[in-house]
């Protein structure tokens, strides 16, 4: 049973470990570069990508600005189509609702479609406490579940594992969960996928209850949409008698026609395919086809807090494509686990602190888990300005408790920088003391120098150099003052 | 659960206190400057290219030759027993070498059981719409398509696409589809890239997708 992320160390501590893992860095680099290459190709095929992105952003903004109306509309339409709609204010309530629904069927097992929302709320653990076993059926999620691990990427959760590790996990753990791995299992991906197929097929063909999330929920029609590759989603969404879908309230789109935008944006941004192999769309229950007992659990769990923040709100546009992970230099080196959440990478760095608040040290560290290079914004199919939210959240963290020294330092800096005489005095003092400046600051300042070099201090301030330079020029020395220039350039770095 | 419904809706409304009272959802402009289709080539050629890119097997046949093409495909596959929707045209199976097990029509008699579907060598269906630009075939349980389970459990899916069902783009397909019908969008056979990003065809859905485009 995979555990939840709560109580993970803060980002710098986790990342420090991760960057020392050469295998992990190799796996991540290969994977992120491969996916981003594929993405670039298929996005390049559409000459209206900028317009699609613009439409995607605007549709999500419209939804968010009028979310109450769209939620009510979705509820009405889904109910009319035969689904039962439930509302969950937080994780605990959502878990209680799902547990109660599963219990009502008399079943003790459920099959699951990969869903970030159910991971976010720790549903598998909650079901386990109620004596219900949840089987993850996405291949990567299965690998994560069998190894008591955490997902490390939105799209490919077991990206940090290589084939040898996966073979080992299957051989060791499959038997505990059902059909064992075949004897003499090799580490060829084809062979491993076949073992997963056999292991899970028994579950699919007998399961009575399935739990899913949704990529989109259409307010106008009450339809839910799930995009996937393997067919495990289709199995779960089609064969069981009862289907319970846990859907974050930000997943809505207003109209059926809006899917024409997102069905283009999402597959190309996430897997770098023109279209993912399978998508399922269902609207309530269809007599004679698929699950007849259909439930929709609408989940808040911090989303309304995020919605209340006018800068941070845009993070709720996220369609979980993971393009920002694959482009991020910080994610590429630190890996998904360092972000302490089911939402890693740049989007995790803005979503997690907003969903959970910035009181915890992990959450407070996440807005700093970025170089602010802006690549994530460029690549985002719904144009979430992640750097803007990061800076905004840093402000929130810095104005919280525990930053008195930093605030005092910034206030002092403001005074000095605001007065040219004070600044000049400070610069001269710094130049005089330049030999005494350590590479690393002691005490609380160490946190700063751990991740940054102290800039070289010039032997004399620029103002002094300039004054002399001008004097020289007035004396007719011209601009060929090579000595002065060299000194200035050398010191100004 | 009424309590939580009101609670969540109240939180949403409180969170949106900056949105002017008079603003309607429609007032939030959605620029729709994107294209209805991308003009990447003749639809049927494009569809073949995209399907083959997904490693689906594709053949273009004259509308009158579907029966022969089905027979040939099933012979090549070595299929002895195949499933088909109740309303699949009889002429598809006119020279069929395999035994055809018809599913019951929706709402008419017990459908084929999962075990039975697991035991057949394949399934033959039609489709609702096919999208050329993305190589996508959409099934919506309508004419000649049957229930969703029919095309999911067997390991081999032979799909007959009629030329008039082919559209260029995703927007054109969405416009043709009815949200009230359950849909399965298929783009190539089941596939995973979860192990070292190496693509492996066939994990849970049909491992082989064969498409006959009837012109």
Cβ neighbors of A104 (< 8 A, separation 6 or more) are: none
Which domains are assigned to chain A? 1-45+322-400 (no CATH), 60-307 (3.40.50.10420), 408-434 (no CATH)
Q: Rounded distance, CA A321 to CA B82, Å? A: 38
Q: What is the pTM of this model?
A: 0.90
Does residue A168 surpass a pLDDT of 50? Answer: yes
Torsion, Cα B140 B143 B147 B150, to 10 degrees, reads: -110
Determine, yes or no, domain membership for B53: yes
Determine, yes or no, domain membership for B70: yes
Q: How far is CA B125 from CA A442, B82, B157, B158, B188, in A?
A: 73, 11, 8, 7, 15
- Locate A450 and state its tokens: 């751990």
- Per-residue pLDDT tens over the stretch A317-364: 999 999 999 999 999 999 999 999 999 999 999 999 999 999 999 999
Measured between CA atoms, the residue of chain B closest to residue A84 is: B1
Q: Rounded distance, CA B77 to CA B98, Å? A: 10
Determine, yes or no, domain membership for B3: no
For the CA atoms of chain B, what is the radius of gyration?
21
Count up the domains in chain B and report the number.
Answer: 1
Residue B169 main-chain phi, psi, to 5 deg: -135, 170
Q: What is the ipTM of this complex?
A: 0.96
A212: three-class secondary structure by DSSP:
strand
pLDDT given for residue B108 in this prediction: 83
The model's confidence at residue A487, banded by pLDDT at 50, 70 and 90, is very low
Residue B56: give its domain's CATH number: 3.40.50.10420
- Per-residue pLDDT tens over the stretch A213-233: 999 999 999 999 999 999 999
Measured between CA atoms, the residue of chain B closest to residue A154 is: B194
pLDDT given for residue A491 in this prediction: 42
In 3D space, the residue among A372, A396, A371, A386 whose CA is nearest the CA of residue A451 turns out to be A371
Cβ neighbors of A464 (< 8 A, separation 6 or more) are: A428
Q: Rounded distance, CA A217 to CA A299, Å? A: 12
The verdict on A307 touching B (C-beta cutoff 8 Å) is: yes
**Are B33 and A279 inside 8 Å of each other by CB?**
no
Q: Which helix (H) or strand (E) holds A61?
A: helix A49-65
Cβ neighbors of A411 (< 8 A, separation 6 or more) are: none
Determine, yes or no, domain membership for B193: yes
Determine, yes or no, domain membership for B28: no
Among B20, B173, B179, B189, pick the best mutation site for testing chain A contact (most A Cβ within 10 A): B179
- Locate A373 and state its tokens: 């290079």
DSSP A395-409: HHHHTSTT-HHHHHH
Q: How far is CA B178 from CA A259, A339, A352, A463, B170, in A?
A: 12, 41, 37, 73, 14
Mean per-residue pLDDT for A28-33?
A: 92
Among B116, B140, B182, B183, pick the best mutation site for testing chain A contact (most A Cβ within 10 A): B182
Q: Which of B12, B136, B194 sits opposite A158 (nearest CB)?
A: B194
The model's confidence at residue A155, banded by pLDDT at 50, 70 and 90, is confident
Q: A297, A84 in Cβ contact below 8 A?
A: no
The range of the structural domain enclosing residue B80 comes to 34-214
Residue A5 main-chain phi, psi, to 5 deg: -85, -10
- Per-residue pLDDT tens over the stretch A439-475: 777 776 777 787 788 888 888 899 899 999 999 999 9
Q: Which of B38, B175, B195 sits opposite A192 (nearest CB)?
A: B195
Determine, yes or no, domain membership for B135: yes
Determine, yes or no, domain membership for B191: yes
Burial class for A179, CB neighbours closer than 10 Å (0-12, 13-18, 19+): middle
Determine, yes or no, domain membership for B103: yes
Q: How far is CA A245 from CA A137, A291, B1, B106, in A?
A: 15, 12, 16, 25
Instruction: List A243's β-bridge partners, or say none.
Output: A210, A294
How many residues are present in chain A? 493
Q: Which helix (H) or strand (E) holds B84?
A: strand B81-84
Dihedral sign, Cα of residue A484, residue A490, residue A491, residue A493: positive
């Amino acid at each position: 049973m995979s555990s939840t992320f709560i109580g993970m160390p803060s980002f710098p501590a986790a990342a420090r470990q991760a960057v020392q893992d050469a295998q992990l860095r190799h796996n991540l680099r290969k994977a992120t570069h491969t996916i981003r290459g594929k993405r670039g190709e298929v996005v390049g095929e559409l000459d209206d990508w900028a317009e699609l992105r613009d439409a995607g952003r605007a549709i999500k903004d419209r939804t968010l600005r009028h979310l109450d109306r769209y939620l009510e509309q979705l509820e009405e339409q889904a109910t009319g189509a035969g689904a039962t709609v439930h509302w969950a204010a937080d994780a605990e309530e959502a878990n209680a609702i799902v547990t109660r629904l599963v219990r009502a069927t008399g079943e003790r097992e459920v099959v699951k479609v990969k869903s970030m929302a159910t991971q976010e709320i720790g549903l598998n653990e909650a079901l386990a406490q109620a004596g219900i076993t949840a089987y993850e059926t996405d291949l990567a999620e299965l690998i994560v579940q069998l190894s008591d691990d955490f997902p490390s990427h939105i799209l490919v959760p077991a990206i940090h594992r290589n084939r040898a590790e996966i073979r080992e996990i299957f051989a060791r753990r499959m038997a505990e969960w059902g059909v064992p791995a075949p004897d003499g299992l090799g580490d060829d991906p084809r062979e491993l996928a076949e073992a997963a197929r056999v292991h899970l097929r028994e579950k699919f063909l007998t399961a009575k209850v399935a739990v899913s999330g949704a990529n989109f929920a259409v307010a106008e029609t009450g339809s839910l949409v799930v995009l996937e590759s393997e067919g495990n989603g289709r199995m779960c969404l089609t064969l069981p008698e009862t289907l319970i879908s846990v859907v974050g309230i930000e997943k809505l789109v207003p109209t059926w026609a809006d899917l024409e935008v997102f069905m283009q944006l999402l597959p190309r941004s996430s897997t770098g395919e023109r279209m993912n192999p399978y998508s399922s769309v269902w609207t309530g229950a269809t007599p004679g086809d698929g699950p007849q007992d259909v439930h929709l659990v609408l989940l808040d769990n911090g989303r309304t807090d995020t919605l209340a923040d006018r800068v941070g709100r845009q993070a709720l546009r996220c369609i979980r494509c993971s393009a920002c992970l694959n482009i991020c230099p910080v994610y590429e080196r630190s890996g998904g686990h360092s972000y302490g959440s089911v939402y890693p990478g740049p989007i995790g760095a803005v979503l997690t602190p907003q969903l959970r608040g910035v009181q915890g040290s992990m959450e407070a560290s996440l807005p700093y888990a970025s170089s602010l290079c802006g690549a994530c914004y460029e690549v985002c199919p719904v144009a979430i300005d992640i750097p803007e939210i990061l800076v905004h959240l840093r402000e929130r963290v810095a104005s919280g408790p525990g930053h008195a020294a930093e605030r005092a330092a910034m206030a002092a800096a403001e005074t000095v920088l605001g007065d040219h005489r004070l600044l000049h005095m400070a610069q001269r003092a710094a130049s005089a003391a330049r030999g005494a400046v350590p590479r690393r600051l002691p005490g609380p300042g160490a946190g700063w120098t751990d991740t940054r070099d102290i800039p070289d201090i010039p032997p004399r301030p620029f103002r002094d150099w300039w004054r002399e330079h001008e004097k020289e020029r007035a004396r007719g020395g011209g601009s060929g003052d090579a000595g002065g220039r060299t000194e200035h350039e050398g010191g100004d770095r | 659960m009424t309590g939580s419904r009101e609670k969540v809706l109240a939180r949403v409304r409180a969170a949106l206190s900056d949105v002017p009272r008079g603003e309607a959802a429609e007032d939030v402009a959605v620029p729709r400057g994107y294209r209805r289709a991308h003009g990447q080539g003749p639809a049927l050629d494009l569809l073949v290219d995209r399907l083959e890119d997904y490693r689906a097997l594709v053949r273009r046949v004259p509308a009158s030759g579907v029966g022969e093409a089905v027979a040939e495909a099933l012979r090549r596959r070595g299929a002895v027993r195949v499933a088909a929707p109740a309303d699949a045209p009889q002429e598809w199976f006119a020279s069929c070498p395999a035994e055809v097990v018809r599913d019951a029509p929706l709402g008419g008699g017990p459908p084929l059981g999962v075990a039975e579907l697991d035991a057949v060598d394949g399934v033959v269906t039609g489709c609702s719409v096919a999208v050329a630009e993305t190589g996508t075939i959409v099934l919506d349980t309508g004419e000649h398509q049957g229930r969703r389970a029919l095309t999911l459990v067997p390991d081999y899916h032979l799909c007959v696409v009629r030329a008039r069902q082919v559209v260029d783009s995703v927007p054109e397909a969405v416009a043709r589809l009815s949200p009230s019908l359950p849909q399965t969008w298929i783009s190539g056979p089941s596939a995973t890239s979860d192990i070292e990003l190496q693509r492996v065809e066939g994990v849970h859905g049909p491992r082989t997708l064969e498409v006959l485009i009837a012109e």
